[in-house]
Amino acid sequence: MLKQEDNELITRVGPGTPMGNFMREYWVPAMLSSEVPTPDSDPLRVLLLGEQLIGFRDTNGNVGLIANNCPHRGASLFFARNEEQGLRCVYHGWKFDVEGNCLDMPNEPAESDFRTKVKATAYPTRERGGIVWAYLGPRKQPPPLPDLEGNMQPDADQFVRATQLACNWLQIMEGDIDTTHVGFLHYGGLKAEDQIPGSFSEYQLRVKTAHFEVIDTEAGAAYGARRPAANDQVYWRIAQWCFPFYSFTPPGVLGTKKGGNARVPMDDTHTMTFSMVSGRNRPGGASPLAIRVPQKPNTTDWYGRFRPEQERSNDFLMDREVQRANTGPSGFTGINGIGMQDAAMTTSMGDIYDRSLEHLGTTDAMVIRVRRRLIAAVQAHMKHGAVPPGVEDPEAYRVRSGGVFLPPDADWVDATRELRQAFVEHPELDPALNGPL
């Protein structure tokens, strides 16, 4: 369980909140580059860390992220004309560039210098790997972008995905670092004897619990979950988390999977996931569970981007007959797809779950460690101005996750040190051993 004050501390992200201030020290994924596809294309409503912002690409191709309300009388700049290096408010014609500078104030006298005294709130942006990153923090010179392998591959823009879910970011992220749910939520309708002999999935189904060992890393934490395997080997399922909201989930072969997820808070009760996985073992491969999530058409409202067709209002299109049959990838839940099975569980907890009501067990060791690290780091930042972990150390994000077989007496931390390092190629590893997940 978690004290209610600690739960509030690490879930609320709006301007002025401790966690909100903490997250603003980092670069944050704000939108896909494809959402502002061409110079002078349509402005985009972007809800980020509780702030209403407008994204746009100017005539030169630079991306701006500016406060929704025009500094004049507060009209929304969503309705602005995107033209000639900036957004022109259609209410009185005031025009602002990507840095928030007022370029034109046509309703004021020509001799007035008032234009030079007005500036819109605007945030620095950078594009990499198909994502527009934003810095909402206090530094005049933003820190470096984190070295996220999935966002830095030559083809990263082809594989980046965005999905919105209607609940707090921490609920979703904690699902990523909980491995024992896989044998039930995702694998409950499968049988060990039906899996590829010697595959990871076979051993997950044979032993649905695991022994957890958790370690701190430079930018977060990692766990190794141990299960017995054949031929005097042990199956280790290894995952990582990095401040503030990055998860590197364990499906795949350790050493070959490149990338992870950013569980970015739109506000306290909505989360945008940016999936950055490229190369071998990326989502959408051979697994019948790793299907592409069907989405509704985007709309222009604040919550209109990347919404799955399966959602709380339709019970995630759950099929009770499929659940009763309890066969196949969707059998245990009656819900189609790994991502939507996870989403059904995390959103069913409510917008922000009261963690004081929980009863955590030994297999929640990683969840407990991550919460402790978050609380300690946010408090240190709030009380002493401490620099959040990883902000000034981009290489700390060079991590990988996945599964591996090791001898029973091996120290998993030492034995997997190189395999857990990003940007290291391992052509000798065969992902065909991976099985369905």
**Cα 364 to Cα 90: distance, rounded to the nearest angstrom:** 53
Instruction: Tell me what pLDDT residue 278 has.
Output: 76
> What's the average model confidence in pLDDT over 162-182?
96
Task: Supply the pTM of this predicted model.
Answer: 0.94
Q: Which two tokens stand for residue 7?
A: 């739960």
Q: Do residues 152 and 99 lie in contact, with contact meaning Cβ atoms separated by under 8 Å? A: no
> What's the average model confidence in pLDDT over 94-119?
96
> What's the average model confidence in pLDDT over 39-61?
98
Instruction: Tell me what pLDDT residue 282 has.
Output: 42
Instruction: Tell me what pLDDT residue 430 has.
Output: 57
Query: What is the percent of the chain where pLDDT is above 70?
Result: 95
Highest mean pLDDT among 15-29, 245-259, 419-433: 15-29
Of 135-149, 258-272, 417-431, give the lowest mean pLDDT range. Answer: 417-431
What's the farthest any 2 CA atoms get from each other in the chain? Answer: 85
Instruction: Tell me what pLDDT residue 434 has.
Output: 46
Instruction: Tell me what pLDDT residue 285 has.
Output: 39
Instruction: Tell me what pLDDT residue 291 has.
Output: 58
The tens digit of pLDDT for each residue in 184-231 reads 999 999 999 999 999 999 999 999 999 999 999 999 999 999 999 998
| Average pLDDT taken over every residue of the chain | 94
Q: Which two tokens stand for residue 211?
A: 């022994």
Residues 6+ apart with CB under 8 A from 45: 52, 53, 54, 55, 68, 78, 300, 301, 302, 304
**Cα 137 to Cα 115: distance, rounded to the nearest angstrom:** 25
Confidence of residue 127 (pLDDT cuts 50, 70, 90): very high
- Of 25, 312, 360, whose CA–CA distance to 178 is shortest? 360
- Phi, psi at 345, each rounded to 5°: -70, -45
Asked, as a colleague might, if the bond just before 431 is cis with ω within 30 of 0, I would say no
Instruction: Tell me what pLDDT residue 428 has.
Output: 84
**Cα 164 to Cα 185: distance, rounded to the nearest angstrom:** 21
pLDDT at 152 over 80: yes
Instruction: Tell me what pLDDT residue 435 has.
Output: 47
The tens digit of pLDDT for each residue in 277-308 reads 975 444 333 444 455 789 999 999 999 999 99
Ordered DSSP codes for 1-27:
---HHHHHHHH--STTSHHHHHHTTSE
The tens digit of pLDDT for each residue in 332-384 reads 999 999 999 999 999 999 999 999 999 999 999 999 999 999 999 999 999 99
E-assigned strands of 76-116? 81-83, 86-88, 95-96, 102-104
